[in-house]
């Protein structure tokens, strides 16, 4: 199987599931879910569906249960619309991108604060030696004479 075929199938599955979720599932537990990525195995038998949920931890947990309950129905719909001989099994995996992005923002803020404190210290600092520690070629020639 080619990687191109895997990518096309993964993209098609992502679109189909996103459209179906947008139309609404009959599960009140389902929150504001976004399908972020789909990865299909090389044999096209399994699809890992990555998603994020906007909301609280409880809404994330409820949405995970709702997606797990709807997996069979979503798989059969995907199978009908894909037109492939074997429909891949679906596995819904919460995507860690929002949490990682928050952590990265915290690290960047901390780095900016440290840079500002170092800049403040360097503004009032004096050189340990001369301001320009490098010897100039003309000085070398004058010393030799």
Greater model confidence, 137 or 77 = 77
Domain ranges of the chain: 3-95
Q: CA 22, CA 51: separation in Å to the nearest integer?
A: 13
Task: Indicate whether 41 pLDDT > 50.
Answer: yes
Mean pLDDT of the chain: 82
Question: Any bridge partners for residue 93, and if so which?
Answer: 50
Nearest to 15 by CA among 70, 64, 81: 81
Angle made by CA atoms 77, 78, 81, in degrees to the nearest 5: 90
Q: CA 145, CA 140: separation in Å to the nearest integer?
A: 9
Cβ density class 5-43: b for 16+ within 10 Å, e for less: ebeebbebbbebbbebbeeebeeebbbebebbebbbeee
What's the CATH number of domain 3-95, 3.40.50.1820, 3.30.300.20, 3.10.640.10, 3.30.300.30?
3.30.300.20
Look at residue 44 in the predicted model and tell me its pLDDT. Answer: 85
């Amino acid at each position: 199987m080619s990687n191109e075929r895997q990518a096309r199938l993964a993209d098609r599955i992502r679109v189909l599931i996103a459209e179906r979720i947008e139309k609404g599932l009959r599960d009140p537990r389902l929150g504001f879910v976004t399908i972020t990525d789909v990865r299909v195995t090389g044999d096209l038998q399994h699809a890992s569906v990555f998603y994020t949920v906007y909301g609280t931890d409880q809404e994330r947990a409820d949405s995970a249960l709702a997606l797990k309950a709807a997996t069979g129905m979503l798989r059969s719909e995907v199978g009908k619309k894909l037109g492939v001989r074997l429909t891949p099994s679906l596995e819904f995996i919460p995507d860690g991108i929002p949490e990682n992005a928050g952590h990265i923002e915290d690290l960047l803020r901390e780095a900016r604060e440290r840079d500002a404190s170092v800049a403040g210290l360097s503004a009032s600092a004096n050189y340990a030696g001369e301001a320009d520690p490098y010897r100039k070629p003309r000085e070398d020639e004058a010393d030799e004479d």
